[in-house]
Chain A
Amino acid sequence: MEISALKAELERLHTASFGWAMSCCHQNRADAEEVLQIVYLKILQGKAIYRGESKLQTWLFAVIRKTAITERRKQLLRSLNPYFSARLEVSDELESDFERSEMQRHFQEALAQLPARQRETLHLVFYQELSLSEAAAVMNVSVGSARRHYERGKKRLREALNQDGARYGFEWKRNENSGAVL
């Protein structure tokens, strides 16, 4: 695929890509933007090449996920340095200033408590509206594993939300999914 055609496709997927990058970066906007920039840079440099083996979105999301993990590791290393850790604190403060509803804040807190794989699966299924097989391809796991993450993630999210449900005036009725694999 030529770079101009690829650029048009990337532009079409840009919003979804940013949402996925946000999820991979724990809803940190600055990190998500940086990750997305690095992904575009990899594509421009030919380090990430789309060979048409899967859907472009699946491939792009897999690249974003891998880049986010790499950047996260780098950040952990940087956090050992006082200068960089100070910068991280500032960016976190900026993020926390963003106004959002109590319900949404509670939801994101519950999401943050989930293991990464479960959170990723839920995001890909509910936010990006991908099928479980597509989510599995993005996460580079089998469909069975993706299904397990999905079901466990849903269960834990529900439990987390139920704990504080009364505080926010809502209640999650336990409605077991017959197809759940627990």
Chain B
Amino acid sequence: MDLSGNEMKIQALYSELRLETQSRVPQFEYVWTRAKVVEETPIRSRRMALVIAASVVAVVCSLAVWAWYTSTASPLPTIAELPPQPTIVESPDPQTPVLQPAKPRRQRDHRRRQPERWNTVAVATLSSWQSPTQLFMESPTDLVLTSLPQLNQSAKDLESFLPKDHELMKESNR
């Protein structure tokens, strides 16, 4: 570049500045080594940070699982302990309810549905509950008492529904 007078002076000033700067230049090896040290340090710290983060996540997950287990634990008996309860199924004849053994429950139920299942089992148990004195309420004439004669039946047939005279006598004697 062709330099004029002013440019020569500016260049002279820059030359002086260059000399001044050159006397203050740090050693290349010093700066390079520091850069290398800094380059290696973050890798170690990054690995450490990764390990710490993984540990924290593991601890948090463990705590969450523990908290979930403790919250779902209940004094009610578990499903495994309960015997399969019979369920009442309506038969075509409404007078004779048929008891059917409960179907085995699916093993692959999620634990999340345990409270719902406990409720279902409790309802089934209560609905199928029978009083111990139920036996005393039964009599041979239950069929007669719980059924009605047809309207078109003859009066003769209706007699069969009526108690016999000697039976009436026995009843009256009692």
* Chain B residue total in the interface (Cβ 8 A): 27
Smallest CB separation, B129 vs chain A (Å): 75
CB contacts (< 8 Å) of A100 on chain B: these are 20
B63: Cβ under 8 A from any A Cβ: no
CB contacts (< 8 Å) of B1 on chain A: these are 125, 131-132
Whether B4 lies near A104 (C-beta < 8 A) is: no
CB contacts (< 8 Å) of B16 on chain A: these are 101, 103-104, 107
Whether B17 lies near A107 (C-beta < 8 A) is: yes
B61: Cβ under 8 A from any A Cβ: no
Q: How far is the CA of A13 from the CA of B116 in the complex (A)?
A: 77
Whether B31 lies near A108 (C-beta < 8 A) is: no
Whether A172 lies near B39 (C-beta < 8 A) is: no
Segment of B6-14, B84-92, B100-108 in the binding face: B6-14
* Chain A residue total in the interface (Cβ 8 A): 39
Interface of chain B: mostly helix, strand, loop or mixed: helix
B111: Cβ under 8 A from any A Cβ: no
* Contact of A18 (CB < 8 Å), options: B13, B26, B32, B36: B26
A131-182 contacts to B (CB < 8 Å):
131-132, 154, 157-158, 172-175, 177
* Contact of A173 (CB < 8 Å), options: B5, B25, B34: B5
Q: A15-B22, A154-B6 are in contact. Are A127 and B14 (CB under 8 A)?
A: yes
Whether B35 lies near A103 (C-beta < 8 A) is: no
* Contact of A44 (CB < 8 Å), options: B10, B11, B20, B39: B39
Whether B36 lies near A126 (C-beta < 8 A) is: no
A24: Cβ under 8 A from any B Cβ: no
Whether B25 lies near A15 (C-beta < 8 A) is: yes
CB contacts (< 8 Å) of B136 on chain A: these are none
Q: How far is the CA of A177 from the CA of B2 in the complex (A)?
A: 10
Can you list 7 A-B pairs with a CB-CB distance of less than 8 A? Answer: A10-B28, A14-B28, A15-B22, A22-B21, A33-B31, A40-B32, A122-B14
A interface, CB within 8 angstroms of B: 7, 10-11, 14-15, 18-19, 22, 29, 33, 36-38, 40-41, 44-45, 98, 100-101, 103-104, 107-108, 122-123, 125-127, 131-132, 154, 157-158, 172-175, 177
B interface, CB within 8 angstroms of A: 1, 4-7, 9-11, 13-14, 16-18, 20-22, 24-26, 28, 31-32, 34-36, 38-39
